[in-house]
A and B are shown apart, each in its own frame.
Chain A
Amino acid sequence: MSHKQNDSIQTVVATGIGAAIIFVLMKFVAIPTGIPNTQINVAEGFLPLLGAIYGPVAAGLAILIGHTLNDFVTYGSPWWTWVITDALIGVAFGATKNRLKIQAGALSTAKLIWFNLYQVVVNFIGWVLLAPTGDILVYHEPAKKVFFQGVTTWIVNSLSVAVIGTILLVLYSRTRTKKGSLKKER
């Protein structure tokens, strides 16, 4: 896919289908952690892969659309501060596209370690700095409450991305390996 036209259409489709996947994962695949009201968010683990393949626009918009739709049908109304935080995190994951070069073949351990440090920082900025600040500004909720929620979300989401995100990135990049020199073994 080298020509421009197709790339822009692919971004549109990746955004739409990515949002559909995120919606389904958010709605139907939540893994209870044992802590009440805290679930391992599988959709969050899918986001780095979408970003690494299709870039910041697709990943940011896909989670924006997917998260908004999910909030609409689950809570009646989107919780905008968190939706926007999620979208920014999607953009940040999309920014790894050129660094990870996932289409080029299996990811090295160095890249994976770099990615995981990056994602923990991104999640920190998102969930411990941005989202709670937004909640304080918009809803005027007590700082202690929103930071407690923020830190919990940071830990849970970083964990989701570290496990599920990494597995997906590794396995996807392996499918990109060239067929090359496969030999039959006796």
Chain B
Amino acid sequence: MNSQFLIGYSPRKTFLHRLNGSTKLIGFVALSLIGMITYDTRFLAGIFLFSGILFYFSKISYQEIALVLKVIMAFAALNLIMVYVFAPGYGMTIYGTQHMLWGSPQHYFNLSWEEVFYIFNLFLKYTFAVPLALIFLLTTNPSEFAASLNRIGIPYRTSYAVEIALRYIPSVQRDYRTISLAQQARGYEISKKAKLRTRIIGSAQIILPLIFTSLDRIEVVSQAMELRRFGHNKKRTWYLAQPFALRDFLALATIAVIVIWGVVLFKINGGRFWNPFK
């Protein structure tokens, strides 16, 4: 019953599933980086569309991601409202023009086309990477993950730490459930019923046994790994590592083209912003 704790990998037969984990990792990181830096709306919308199409091909069902989508929408909405409330005229400052929709620039609260456009850009920036992240998460076998990290140059010890994290999350989660129930029976409270102070101290008392028993585990697991010769050689091989295939090179080339295009746009726009108001 606990195995479904993450939105996680589901094996299917699409070209995205067949792609090497490293390729998808590089793709995700490269596209998020360029998308984070640029403010060219056309480019962002382009990536968004591109990742949306990929998402369609990954055959991920809506149910798998429904919850995440709701959280993302709530998160984006909250942030965008805050951005507006704190600086309603920021769009005009950035784009240097004033096309008013409502109110005048002299009032604190006003609305301009520039502001709407700026917020739309922000919205794209918050969300464009989500389809890519979900594709990465749902089409990559977690077992291949550590091997992929190692391949793109992360030291194997660090890569294996990620594997251990994935391995022990279900165990820690199960322990947490057991411990927290037993502690709540004894009277420790973390729900809204209790005062904030009680809640904070209560939570420390509840997680204390969880943390101490998990720390004990670190020693045993390290010994088990050492007895099986982990960490002796300068490198290690991976049972589930995939070799690069032609499709991976094609995918990497596509990614490179997109990234270079994004960089070229900085030159053309004379900066990170594309300004349609001038």
Direct contact of A and B (CB under 8 A): yes
Using a CB–CB cutoff of 8 Å, the interface residues on chain A facing chain B are 1, 5-6, 8-17, 19-21, 23-25, 28-29, 31-34, 37, 40, 42, 45-46, 49, 53, 61-62, 65-66, 69, 72-78, 80, 138-145, 148-149, 159-160, 163-164, 167-168, 171-172, 175
13 sampled A-B residue pairs with Cβ under 8 A? A6-B226, A11-B157, A13-B218, A17-B165, A20-B168, A32-B192, A53-B215, A75-B72, A142-B87, A148-B82, A160-B200, A163-B204, A168-B211
For the residues of B in contact with A, the DSSP-based class is helix
Which 7 residue pairs are nearest across A and B when measured between Cβ atoms?
A: A16-B164, A142-B87, A19-B165, A15-B161, A145-B86, A76-B130, A77-B133
- The listed residue (A1, A28, A138) touching B36 by CB distance below 8 A is A138
B204 CB to closest chain A CB (Å) equals 4
Residues in B whose Cβ lies below 8 Å from that of A12? 157-158, 160-161, 164, 222, 225, 230-231
Question: Do A40 and B215 touch (CB < 8 A)?
Answer: no
Count residues of chain B with CB under 8 A from any CB of chain A.
72
Question: Do B133 and A142 touch (CB < 8 A)?
Answer: no
Question: Do B203 and A16 touch (CB < 8 A)?
Answer: no
Among B97-105, B169-177, B247-255, the stretch that binds chain A is B169-177
Residues in B whose Cβ lies below 8 Å from that of A163? 200-201, 204
Beyond A16-B162, A171-B208: 16 further Cβ-contacts under 8 Å?
A6-B223, A8-B157, A10-B222, A11-B157, A13-B221, A16-B160, A16-B163, A17-B172, A20-B169, A40-B203, A73-B6, A139-B36, A142-B90, A144-B86, A164-B203, A164-B207
- Complex CA distance for A20 and B162, rounded to whole angstroms: 9
- The listed residue (B125, B168, B231) touching A16 by CB distance below 8 A is B168
Residues in B whose Cβ lies below 8 Å from that of A34? 196
Tell me the nearest residue of chain B to A31, going by C-beta: B199
Question: Do B219 and A65 touch (CB < 8 A)?
Answer: no
Residues in A whose Cβ lies below 8 Å from that of B151? none
- Complex CA distance for A34 and B215, rounded to whole angstroms: 32
Q: Any chain A CB within 8 A of the CB of B147?
A: no
Tell me the nearest residue of chain A to B157, going by C-beta: A12
A135 CB to closest chain B CB (Å) equals 10
Question: Do A13 and B203 touch (CB < 8 A)?
Answer: no
Question: Do B86 and A61 touch (CB < 8 A)?
Answer: no
A62 CB to closest chain B CB (Å) equals 8
Q: Any chain A CB within 8 A of the CB of B49?
A: no
- Complex CA distance for A73 and B105, rounded to whole angstroms: 41
Using a CB–CB cutoff of 8 Å, the interface residues on chain B facing chain A are 6-7, 32, 36-37, 39, 65, 68-69, 71-72, 75, 78, 82-83, 85-87, 90, 94, 122, 125, 129-130, 132-134, 137, 157-158, 160-169, 171-173, 176, 190, 192, 196, 199-201, 203-204, 206-208, 210-212, 214-215, 217-219, 221-223, 225-226, 230-232, 272
Question: Knowing A42-B203, A45-B204, A77-B32 touch, does A140 contact B39 (C-beta < 8 A)?
Answer: yes
B212 CB to closest chain A CB (Å) equals 7
Residues in B whose Cβ lies below 8 Å from that of A77? 32, 129-130, 132-133
- Complex CA distance for A6 and B222, rounded to whole angstroms: 7
Question: Knowing A20-B164, A31-B190 touch, does A139 contact B134 (C-beta < 8 A)?
Answer: no
A123 CB to closest chain B CB (Å) equals 16
- Complex CA distance for A73 and B160, rounded to whole angstroms: 20
Question: Do A17 and B83 touch (CB < 8 A)?
Answer: no
Question: Knowing A65-B161, A145-B87, A163-B201 touch, does A24 contact B222 (C-beta < 8 A)?
Answer: no
- Complex CA distance for A21 and B208, rounded to whole angstroms: 12
- Complex CA distance for A115 and B37, rounded to whole angstroms: 37
Question: Do B204 and A168 touch (CB < 8 A)?
Answer: yes
Question: Do A10 and B218 touch (CB < 8 A)?
Answer: yes
Tell me the nearest residue of chain A to B177, going by C-beta: A28
Residues in A whose Cβ lies below 8 Å from that of B133? 72, 76-78
B74 CB to closest chain A CB (Å) equals 9
- The listed residue (B65, B125, B231) touching A8 by CB distance below 8 A is B231
Residues in A whose Cβ lies below 8 Å from that of B169? 20, 23-24, 69
- Complex CA distance for A157 and B78, rounded to whole angstroms: 20
Residues in B whose Cβ lies below 8 Å from that of A33? 196
Question: Do B168 and A46 touch (CB < 8 A)?
Answer: no
Question: Do A9 and B165 touch (CB < 8 A)?
Answer: no
- Complex CA distance for A163 and B173, rounded to whole angstroms: 23
